[in-house]
């Protein structure tokens, strides 16, 4: 979801902004390989973006998509979340909030440890495959759920993706191992595996919150788009200041969006007194 | 909690490590003011430190301290957390986990917004003061609860601190406005305000988890101390590489500690396949 | 949702079964007034019915209905639940699970106290009216939200009902006080109040989980319908045994359904040993 | 915890009241066996008793006892709760609230199903034994954790009881299979099993909330003792009205205590209007 911004008079790109985690990963790879053609502001890295849009937006809308596609009861089901980045964290939180027993799969030790400390069961996908009722990927990588996992799954298992593309679940592999199909609800494909077990793929493995529901609510996209708008304004105001690299959103923009959002919610907060601000900045006061 | 490490043969300080949020804030202030005498590794900034020790360690042990000091039922009480940094987040999470209705006070808009989205009520202290049953500060600043707040509080209110020092609650102010004292449990002081309302100060406003309980459990300090030990080793191994600044803990140390901690918990996680690692590093694959 | 069961050879009603809380309340009123024409088995009172269908079924499907109707972000919103019976409890739990700050309104002191101890804010509707973003009724009564409350509500407030009929919100009153209408999503009506505030009524005040979503998932209705089926079988088997009163579902049926449901979920549980069963039944063992 | 109440002038027992779940079970067994010598009011069965004291009181104080005895970090640990009655429910809720991954063991299918729907993992003790870090019983029965389970447990496992007596864990069995002891904190006994695994018994298997902490907070016992006091008053007022059976607490007493408790918390609730009360009592209004 790259947005490029041209200066009309010059006809060339001043800068671009990037909305997604996966996009930023790839742009950094381009920067590393020396092929980034213009500066990019990584909107995804604004705290007012990924802490809210990725976490609460993806979390809720993915649950929404799964419910609209299947109308299953989440309470009591084993819900496997692959990937415990911001999107995965939001999804795990919401799945638990709907009464599911949540299992997390991760490749990063630190994130795995965070999931453990939040009380989630953390398992390799191979072991999760055998116990899950619903699987949802949010990793930014490919083949997170593959043939070796389909082989272990229970009859009736649901497969969904809330990550970047339709490659997180190995759909070609699923089609290859299936001996046939079985009817299912709209937006759901039923595959029959040798032996008779049925696996159900939601929304063709595409983003289930977009394909089966309406995507993120406006009341969280407001912050993301504010980051876009103010980052573009910044790039246009200071065109010379940006090197051909991936840049963060300026801190002042990030803070201002948080302030405006609170205001729109009519929530007041405390302000530091001068004495408090001075104390925080000092190193010679206190015991 | 600054730890300095000397090279015996030289007799001077190679580097120091710092364990706490407040300590790092002050060391950065010293760096900014040009008075930092040696390099410092900010152990607090390791993810395996603040995401665990500050959050889960402080969260649990503060609840523990308040219960040992008072034996009150937390369920149904209004629990006000001042400061929604890592310590405050952990405390809010645990207070809610014990059935309290949690109110958060913050000065930072972004943190305030995170608290809102987690479902907490966010109020300025002036409004929280009138409705809270238990107050606990975790801000790193002074006079977060002061005379203007004592004046509004309900009879029987409990006051505690889980932040840096005994300055977060204005204790001198509390003594000044009190017309007398009232008996209370060990480790708790009861103050009578004009009109008869009683406010109870826990552990003299010092860290309630240390003063009234046993501090953080060993099973979370293990990660913090691993950061200390491996940071010292690093400083000794690469003495010339560190400028007179505040440095983060090297990422490899941080990751290694997470890996070791998972291992000690006998939790296995997935590993990226070569194809997956390649995909993550690429920018020319995918749709 | 009364189901009557006739004996073909006689042409008269042997017994009926009743599925809902409201239905049972009314049938008991009829029994009290001496106008109940045949025995009724109160399926709603089976534990395998109301503890699951009313709580987890209504809870999830009401959230589902509100999301489909509005696509609002629940995180951080003040969600007012009127009525803390089984349906209201389920709804409050799920609204919290989606990140909302939940306020409960009740008329029964004991239920109100349970809500308090679960960490919810409990307020009279008059005070909740001024702070809520979303209101949902689940009371079985009429005019729970009325003119005096509309007058206090914020601009943009959403009004929904998950209770028995479309009388829980005083819709006629809402139409009467509105000075006009305002466009809204499908299934939502926007009313403009004098002064310009807009209130949005979902699904015409009818059951939002049925009108805007798909009602309870099959995997919770299975238990409710098992109670129906086995209660009918019971009534047919023992036609003479039932007086013209409201009867509970026989305990053995209730227990058997729980056992079957666990089996279908492939969940094994412990069994009492003979020594344990004997101990439980005794009064002369132990200290 | 049976309380008997004598009429001085007669010298014989008018009635007794009983505070605990286990006590009531035994008194009902005595009634069944025809050996109950006087009427008993089952205070435990008041909703203002078991829904609060057993659930929130036992839940919090058991966590408190385990923390005081061990100072372990609960976040991320597998916490096994045996028995999902009111006490077990409260304990499971609080253990989850402290970040533990909770596993529930039950013999009753319906309670097991409730635990499943709350998102807990439900396992037979034989399977829980192998994965738990902390075990706590709340069953009212004997030998819930026995030799066959000790044999499966991990090194470092903690064993505690929040149930009726010190028979829920088979302590004699534990001593018999242990090859030796190992030092531990005060109030904790360490047993070494053949092969070297160490199991730790808290508070000699007695009620860990009483033995290692301070028992239930006063602010929940107030309701229990109000039931006691008002039940005694009732028994004295209506001495002839009580048969030699186990009686529930009169509903008016139960409701009055809820009302008084809310008042003491300064929480206001709604009242039914006459029209609402009439509607609830009717069967000929509505669609």
Model confidence over A35-59: pLDDT tens digits? Answer: 999 999 999 999 999 999 999 999 9
Which of C48-52, C242-246, D100-104, D237-241 shows the lowest mean pLDDT across its residues?
D237-241
3-state secondary structure labels for all residues of C219-276: HHHHHHHHHHHHHHHHHHHCHHHCCCCEEECCHHHHHHHHHHHHHHCCCCCCCCCHHH
Please name the member of A99, A102, A119 whose beta carbon is closest to the beta carbon of D118. A99
Give me the pLDDT at residue B11, please: 55
Q: Which tens digit of pLDDT belongs to each residue from A143-174?
A: 999 999 999 999 999 999 999 889 999 999 99
Which of A74-83, C29-38, C127-136, D167-176 shows the lowest mean pLDDT across its residues?
C29-38
Q: Is the pLDDT of residue A66 over 80?
A: yes
Of the CA atoms within 13 Å of residue C236, those in its CB half-sphere come to 12
* B73 contacts chain D (CB < 8 A): yes
Separation in Å, CA of A199 to nearest CA in chain B: 22
Q: Is the pLDDT of residue D10 over 50?
A: no
What pLDDT band is residue A240 in, cutting at 50, 70 and 90? confident
Average the pLDDT over A183-210 and give the result: 96
Q: What percent of chain C has pLDDT over 70?
A: 95
Give me the pLDDT at residue A128, please: 98
What pLDDT band is residue D284 in, cutting at 50, 70 and 90? confident
Q: Is the pLDDT of residue A11 over 70?
A: no
Interface predicted TM-score (ipTM): 0.93
Give me the pLDDT at residue D238, please: 86
Q: Is the pLDDT of residue D184 over 70?
A: yes
Please name the member of B63, B73, B214 whose beta carbon is closest to the beta carbon of D57. B73
What pLDDT band is residue D140 in, cutting at 50, 70 and 90? very high
| DSSP string for residues in chain C | -EEEEE-TTT-SEEEEEE-SHHHHHHHHHHHHTT---S-EEEGGGSHHHIIIIIIIIHHHHHHHHHHHHH----TT-EEEEE--SHHHHHHHHHHHHTT-EEEEE-S-HHHHHHHHHTT-EE--HHHHTTT-SEEEE-SSSS-SB-HHHHTTPPTTEEEEE-SSSTTSB-HHHHHHH-SEEE--STTEEEEE-TTS-EEEEEGGGSBHHHHTS--S-HHHHHHHHHHHHHHHHHHHHSGGG--SSEEEPPHHHHHHHHHHHHHHTT-------HHHHHHHH-SSS--
Please name the member of B29, B110, B167 whose beta carbon is closest to the beta carbon of A48. B110
* C94 contacts chain A (CB < 8 A): yes
Q: Is the pLDDT of residue D154 over 90?
A: yes
* C56 contacts chain D (CB < 8 A): yes
Give me the pLDDT at residue A281, please: 87
Residues on chain C touching D142 (C-beta within 8 angstroms): 275-276, 279, 286
What pLDDT band is residue D146 in, cutting at 50, 70 and 90? very high
Please name the member of C26, C47, C124 whose beta carbon is closest to the beta carbon of D269. C124
Q: Within chain B, which residues score under 50 in pLDDT?
A: 9-10
Q: Is the pLDDT of residue A261 over 80?
A: yes
Q: Which tens digit of pLDDT belongs to each residue from C176-195?
A: 999 999 999 999 999 999 99
Give me the pLDDT at residue B53, please: 92
What distance in Å separates the CA atoms of residue C170 and residue C201, rounded to the nearest whole number? 11
Q: Is the pLDDT of residue A10 over 50?
A: no
Q: Which tens digit of pLDDT belongs to each residue from B63-96?
A: 999 999 999 999 999 999 999 999 999 999 999 9
Average the pLDDT over D181-197 and give the result: 96
Average the pLDDT over C133-150 and give the result: 97
What pLDDT band is residue D228 in, cutting at 50, 70 and 90? very high
Give me the pLDDT at residue B10, please: 45
Give me the pLDDT at residue A197, please: 97
Of the CA atoms within 13 Å of residue C161, those in its CB half-sphere come to 24
Residues on chain C touching B119 (C-beta within 8 angstroms): 75-76, 96, 99-102
Residues on chain A touching B164 (C-beta within 8 angstroms): 286
Separation in Å, CA of D129 to nearest CA in chain A: 16
Average the pLDDT over D78-100 and give the result: 98
Nearest C-alpha neighbor of A137 from the set A107, A110, A109: A107
Separation in Å, CA of C35 to nearest CA in chain A: 39
Give me the pLDDT at residue B98, please: 98
Give me the pLDDT at residue A185, please: 96
Contact C58, C87 (CB under 8 A): yes
Give me the pLDDT at residue D5, please: 64
Q: Is pLDDT larger for residue D60 or for residue A219? A: D60
């Amino acid at each position: 979801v790259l947005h490029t911004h041209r200066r009309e008079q010059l006809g060339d790109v001043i800068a671009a902004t990037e909305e997604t985690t996966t996009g930023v990963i790839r742009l950094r790879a381009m920067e590393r390989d020396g092929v980034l053609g213009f500066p990019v502001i990584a909107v995804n890295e604004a705290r007012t973006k990924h802490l809210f849009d990725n976490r609460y937006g993806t979390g809720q809308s993915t649950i929404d998509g799964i419910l609209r596609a299947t109308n299953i009861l989440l309470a009591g089901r084993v819900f496997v979340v692959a990937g415990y980045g911001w999107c995965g964290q939001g999804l795990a939180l919401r799945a638990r909030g709907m009464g599911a027993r949540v299992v997390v799969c991760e490749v990063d030790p630190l994130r795995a440890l965070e999931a453990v400390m939040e009380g989630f069961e953390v398992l390799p996908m191979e072991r999760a495959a055998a116990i899950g009722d619903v699987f949802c990927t949010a990793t930014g990588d490919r083949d997170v759920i593959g043939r070796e996992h389909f082989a272990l799954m229970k009859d009736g298992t649901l497969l969904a993706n809330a990550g970047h593309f339709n490659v997180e679940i190995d759909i070609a592999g699923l089609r290859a191992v299936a001996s046939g199909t079985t009817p299912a609800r709209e937006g759901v494909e039923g595959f029959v595996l040798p032996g008779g077990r049925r696996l159900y793929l939601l929304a063709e493995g595409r983003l289930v919150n977009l394909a089966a529901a309406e995507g993120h609510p406006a009341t969280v996209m407001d912050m993301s788009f504010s980051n876009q708008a103010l980052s573009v304004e910044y790039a246009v105001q200071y065109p010379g200041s940006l090197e051909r690299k991936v840049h963060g959103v300026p801190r002042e923009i990030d803070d201002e969006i948080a302030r405006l959002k609170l205001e729109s919610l009519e929530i007041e907060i405390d302000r530091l007194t001068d004495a408090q601000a001075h104390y925080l900045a000092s190193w010679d006061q206190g015991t």
